[in-house]
Structure 1
């Protein structure tokens, strides 16, 4: 079987995008690993499927390199909107996301950040604004859902944290029944922060759109920054806007690297 794909990225957070509207395709875990492999496959942080939707312009499915399926991905949403070639409403497992193209950038309304312990979810009730837990110097994170689960740790220096070692430990802690994305953030001003992320099922990535939204919502929740801020990640920056009801929007660039066909 052969499948055509488009390789895209948002700030280095890269995707193999498959248009499955006319020809259905659901990758097996083995196929997902093969496609994501940077030496033997296409190479990507996630596989993205564009499927038909009865509620929106398209349905977007997100597969991690380990074959697990994610609920939301902000950078992938922007890439799909760019591939569709217009402002669009995109259905995901996390709900409907509205996008708008602005010059070479795409804006996505990511929906409301949710802070209920059952909404994250956590294994049991606790204060999500400052969890009474810690791992090797990382402590008291904010827990929230942006359609997918996130932890946000505020640290003095994001470069001083061994996220490659701590990320998988925290991701798979029994406190998080659906595993969790691990974000660390350094506040540099009231309108700018530095951000690194360990993505659930993918590992270290150059950028994470839903993670940047989670960071913005968490910092506004703790009243540490303005509601509009620039989140700087290794791959580049996103503009994050947090409304009074904690609805979050993000704006940033996307790019197409190449197109091709892969044999599965």
Structure 2
């Protein structure tokens, strides 16, 4: 028996995102997400569920499948809400979203372009940043841990990336993600001279590891890292395999006070997905790896 799932598929900087607007029990989210993001279904890098919010100030609630926070999914939902409102070209509005992994409402300022939307998202601030050392296989790597209330990113400055480094980072993410109490773990490989970012996102609940073509939360963490490192405000264009995103970080009195990202998002598909009701996710079956570098 097949279950019908209504979805919209969005493209925020090629970080392909599926938003599900069929109401489903929360204990079904991981099973549904693992199937719908697979190669033999709709296929994407991440899945979020649109739900009504109990907060009267919120326009919608976005529940990511693994309970993580995702800036690009916020952009995707803002674009979908704008599409439902049939915004005119050059029109701008602000949506306030309740989002998993974020303690406060997330403001998304969105403008309609000819073929897509331009969105600016007010991102959660890290609760702490500190230096650490990571090691998997080769020589130890100096890193900066950008710690949020519900997830963590590790920034590693690199000059170049090869297959061996990617494999080491993937093994590292799975190993430390198994004992860290976090909804999402990211390893951000950053080339400071070219402002190039390559991001691995690992979601323990989904056992999902993805080399993302564009990462909103990763872009924000690079902005936070640069502001922390240089002790000043930062505005930078961060280049990624799927395109370029803008990050702005305000730094005042030895602390980060504001963090924003900006990028483009398009709606590429909308329809009905069919999920086999007999599909059961067994241990180890949920691993979802996409390599784009």
- Do these two structures clear the TM 0.5 threshold for a shared fold by scoring above it? yes
Deviation, 1:156, is: 1.7
Deviation, 1:214, is: 0.7
- In the alignment, is residue 47 of structure 1 matched against residue 43 of structure 2? no
Q: 1:228 aligns with which of 235, 252, 259?
A: 235
Partner of 1:170: 173
CA change 1:243–1:160 in 2 (3 A) is farther
Partner of 2:265: 254
Deviations 1:66-98 (A, max 9, x none): xxx132101110010111114201111213110
CA change 1:61–1:199 in 2 (3 A) is same
For 2:216 and 2:50, locate their aligned partners in 1 and report how far apart those are by CA, in whole Å.
Answer: 18
For 2:42 and 2:68, locate their aligned partners in 1 and report how far apart those are by CA, in whole Å.
Answer: 22
Deviation, 1:171, is: 4.0
Q: 1:13 aligns with which of 9, 12, 15?
A: 15
* RMSD of Structure 2 on Structure 1 (CA): 2.2
For 2:267 and 2:63, locate their aligned partners in 1 and report how far apart those are by CA, in whole Å.
Answer: 19
Alignment of 1:90-239 (within 5 A): 90-93=97-100, 94-95=102-103, 96-103=105-112, 104-115=117-128, 128-135=129-136, 136-137=138-139, 139-146=141-148, 147-158=150-161, 162-173=165-176, 176-178=180-182, 180-188=185-193, 193-200=195-202, 201-223=208-230, 227-239=234-246
CA change 1:207–1:161 in 2 (3 A) is farther
Note the residue ranges of structure 2 that are not aligned, 5 or more in a row.
83-92, 203-207, 276-293
TM-score by length of 2: 0.75
Contact residue 6 and residue 20 of structure 2 kept, 8 A: yes
Deviation, 1:25, is: 4.8
For 1:57 and 1:113, locate their aligned partners in 2 and report how far apart those are by CA, in whole Å.
Answer: 25
Contact residue 108 and residue 120 of structure 2 kept, 8 A: yes
Deviation, 1:203, is: 1.8
Contact residue 152 and residue 215 of structure 1 kept, 8 A: yes
Deviations 1:106-164 (A, max 9, x none): 0000021221xxxxxxxxxxxx5210343324512111134521111111224576224
For 1:187 and 1:100, locate their aligned partners in 2 and report how far apart those are by CA, in whole Å.
Answer: 28
Deviation, 1:24, is: 3.9
For 2:173 and 2:4, locate their aligned partners in 1 and report how far apart those are by CA, in whole Å.
Answer: 37
For 1:138 and 1:97, locate their aligned partners in 2 and report how far apart those are by CA, in whole Å.
Answer: 36
TM-score by length of 1: 0.83
Q: SS of the residue aligned with 1:132? A: strand
Structure showing greater Rg = 2
For 2:209 and 2:170, locate their aligned partners in 1 and report how far apart those are by CA, in whole Å.
Answer: 11
